[in-house]
């Protein structure tokens, strides 16, 4: 009979969790929640920065394409986004610009990010309308571009302002303004 009593005592001890086991589970849970908060936290400003970096990379790609092919490219801005444009000759006397609709140089919208765009050229603010089909920054076959400064501002003004600068020699720079 002593055997049955000893085994029933062991069963009772194994029914619950020890304090150490609970602490380990809570620690792991806390770490997972912390990583999730870090991954999600600062989402709007992080998305704005990613979009600014994307603009710099895509503008560099358009510049390089123009340099390699000799075909003029342009960048047009609107209040809600930007588009890369291609020069098309209608006839000997007429030229127009059309939006590129192929990846990765297709039109981009920043409206969903709650971002306002402000464009400056030659020290003057360039008014932006609802369409990005007008060339404002030209990329020529020599790798040069029309100098510009583009500020990306959060609509609420709660975080940093990002500025993308394009220099005449084709250099593109992204900086954060406080």
Domain coordinates of the chain in residue numbers?
43-177
What is each CA distance from 149 to 55, 66, 111, 128, 140, in whole angstroms?
Answer: 12, 20, 19, 13, 18
pLDDT at 15: 76
For 68-107, how does the pLDDT look when each residue is reduced to its tens digit (9 = 90+)? 988 889 999 999 899 999 998 888 889 899 999 988 999 9
8 Å CB contact between 46 and 152 = no
* φ/ψ (deg, to 5) at 88: -125, 130
Out of 3.30.1380.20, 3.40.50.300, 3.40.1360.10, 3.55.40.10, select the CATH number for domain 43-177: 3.55.40.10
pLDDT at 19: 82
Nearest to 149, CA basis, from 130, 129, 114, 177 = 177
pTM: 0.73
pLDDT at 1: 55
For the chain, list residues with pLDDT below 70: 1-14, 34-43, 157-158
> If you ran DSSP here, which 8-state letter would residue 86 be given?
E
pLDDT at 128: 94
User: Cα–Cα–Cα angle for 119, 155, 58, nearest 5°?
Assistant: 45
Which residues fall within 8 angstroms of residue 77, CB to CB, at 6 or more apart? 117, 119, 126, 128, 132, 136, 150
């Amino acid at each position: 009979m002593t055997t049955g009593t000893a085994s029933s005592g062991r069963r009772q001890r194994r029914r619950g969790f020890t304090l150490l086991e609970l602490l380990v589970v809570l620690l792991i849970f806390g770490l997972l929640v912390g990583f999730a908060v870090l991954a999600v936290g600062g989402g709007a400003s992080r998305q704005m920065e990613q979009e600014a970096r994307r603009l710099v990379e895509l503008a560099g790609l358009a510049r390089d394409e123009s340099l390699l092919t000799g075909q003029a490219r342009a960048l047009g801005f609107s209040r809600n986004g930007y588009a890369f444009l291609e020069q098309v000759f209608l006839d000997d006397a007429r030229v127009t610009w059309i939006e590129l609709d192929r990846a990765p140089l297709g039109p981009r919208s920043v409206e969903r990010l709650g971002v306002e765009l402000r464009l400056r050229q030659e020290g003057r603010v360039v008014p932006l309308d609802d369409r990005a089909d007008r060339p404002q920054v030209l990329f020529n076959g020599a790798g040069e571009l029309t100098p510009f400064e583009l500020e990306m501002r959060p609509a609420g003004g709660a975080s940093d302002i990002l500025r993308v600068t394009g220099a005449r020699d084709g250099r593109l720079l992204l900086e954060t303004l406080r």
